[in-house]
Amino acid sequence: MLSALARPAGAALRRSFSTSAQNNAKVAVLGASGGIGQPLSLLLKNSPLVSRLTLYDIAHTPGVAADLSHIETRANVKGYLGPEQLPECLKGCDLVVIPAGVPRKPGMTRDDLFNTNATIVATLTAACAQHCPEAMICVIANPVNSTIPITSEVFKKHGVYNPSKIFGVTTLDVVRANTFVAELKGLDPARVNVPVIGGHAGKTIIPLISQCTPKVDFPQDQLTTLTGRIQEAGTEVVKAKAGAGSATLSMAYAGARFVFSLVDAINGKEGVVECSFVKSQETDCPYFSTPLLLGKKGIEKNLGIGKVSPFEEKMIADAIPELKASIKKGEEFVKNMK
């Protein structure tokens, strides 16, 4: 089922640069001046799918917007600065991407980011619930395992919750899995597709190598190493940047890929499949990432976990307690908000 629907990884991103279709997506980036926000905004500005790009942050957005506005593509770009300008930034948006928040530094876990980023996400999503309640919400801000439950609870509080339109962007895990498998097997990474399920931190990241297209096989020791590398790839970048940041460029690419897939689906393209961390009944976790068939209204169908190997089954079982704890933490945060 999945392999028939899944298209080659990254196809949406490349297609967005070459398509002649004149589409009119209105996209907002919240946290547009940051390490992910700037390259993400550049990729969105470069796409003919986007007609209006509104950029929000608490510093530097007029400069980022002025810089991007000189690019010879059709998207109209405008920058908004500070909380008082946020409502205007969101009005009429079809899709909001939220890379805002503090990045990981060496030695930091995604949980260390929780308190700062939880507040940021709760504030920004409350504004979305008020000013663009119908928009698709794509959350990049970590820890995604908690920030998606936060987003859902905030939308519930405002009485505009639609689980089909709230997405935790886990695409970077898929992009990494595709790249690392392709490197090991000498394949074109654009033609590799590895579904990655679960969550978006450490052992909750579960690459289903057994479902990879094209089919690949690894001896168990190599499979264990490869899986560990996919799970800890974020830390690999944090260490390599030696305190100067986290995965920003690859995350911007992955965020853009997800946005373009969603816009394609909104525009009526059929068979668009992406993995994402969403409200789910596929396991006894209330949120779980699986391949989703996207449609005009967001999630058209959850394609589920599918057939997994015993190795993958064990990873799923090991991930669930950690996922449940992260989800509960997000939900409790909103309950205790003043």
Is 315 annotated to bind a ligand? Reply is no
Catalytic annotation present for 200: yes
Bridge partners of 138? 97, 167
> How many other C-beta atoms can be found within 10 angstroms of the C-beta atom of residue 325?
12
Q: Any binding-site annotation on 35?
A: yes
Query: Is 110 within any annotated ligand binding site?
Result: yes
Please tell me whether 57 is known to bind a ligand. Answer: yes
Residue 166 marked as a ligand binder: no
**d(Cα 250, Cα 172) in Å, to the nearest integer?**
7
Is 251 annotated in a binding site? The answer is yes
The verdict on whether residue 31 carries a ligand-binding annotation is yes
φ, ψ (nearest 5 deg) of residue 27: -120, 135
d(CA 111, CA 329): 10
Is 168 annotated in a binding site? The answer is no
Bridge-based pairing of strands 287-295 and 298-302 is: antiparallel
65 is annotated as contributing to ligand binding: no
Whether 141 has a binding-site annotation, put simply, is yes
Q: How far is CA 293 from the centre of its chain?
A: 15
Neighbour count for residue 137 (Cβ, 10 Å): 27
159 is in an annotated binding site: no
**37 assigned ligand-binding residue:** yes
Which residues have a Cβ under 8 Å from the Cβ of 116 and sit 6 or more positions away? 101, 102
36 annotated ligand binder? yes
Nearest-Å Rg of the Cα atoms of the chain is 19
Residue given tokens 């394949």 in the structure block: 187
- CA 174, CA 195: separation in Å to the nearest integer? 6
Q: Looking at 60, 70, 131, 200, which residue is catalytic? A: 200
Q: How far apart are CA 93 and CA 152, in angstroms?
A: 18
Q: Is 32 annotated as a binding residue?
A: yes
Kindly report the CA angle at 80 between 75 and 84, in degrees rounded to 5? 145
Annotated binding site: 31-37, 57, 104, 110, 117, 140-142, 176, 251
Which residues are part of the catalytic machinery?
200
Annotated binding site for substrate: 104, 110, 142, 176
Annotated binding site for NAD(+): 31-37, 57, 117, 140-142, 251
